Amino acid sequence: MIRPMYDELSAHDVFVDRRVLFLAVNVSDHPDAAAYYDVDGWPTFLLFRNGIVVDRVVGGSAAREKLYGMISKHSS
């Protein structure tokens, strides 16, 4: 359910043009990353700018709109 939305957003022209890079990490395979970034709910989407977390969205409910807004806000 989350993967199709992730794929859709990562291919969106607006984000490609703004050089937004999407990465996915399975926290079951990398619990150290989940602990480091204080991820305790799934799905969690983190937005980094210059290596620093600048925003996050937790949960799948209305995630598409929240993610689009978050990325648009920080990538302009």
What's the mean per-residue pLDDT of the chain?
Answer: 87
- The SS3 call for residue 13 is helix
- CA–chain centroid gap for 23, Å, is 8
What is the CA angle 29-5-33, rounded to 5?
25
For the domain that residue 17 is a member of, what is the CATH number?
Answer: 3.40.30.10
Whether residue 63 is predicted with pLDDT greater than 80 in this model: the reply is no
Instruction: Give the mean model confidence (pLDDT) for residues 28-43.
Output: 94
Residue with tokens 């920080």: 74
Neighbouring residues of 54: CB distance < 8 A, sequence distance ≥ 6: 47, 48, 74
40 has a pLDDT exceeding 80: yes
Averaged pLDDT, 45-69: 87
Q: Which of 4, 68, 42 is nearest to 55 (CA)?
A: 68
Question: How many domains would you assign to the chain?
Answer: 1
By residue range, what is the domain housing residue 50? 2-75
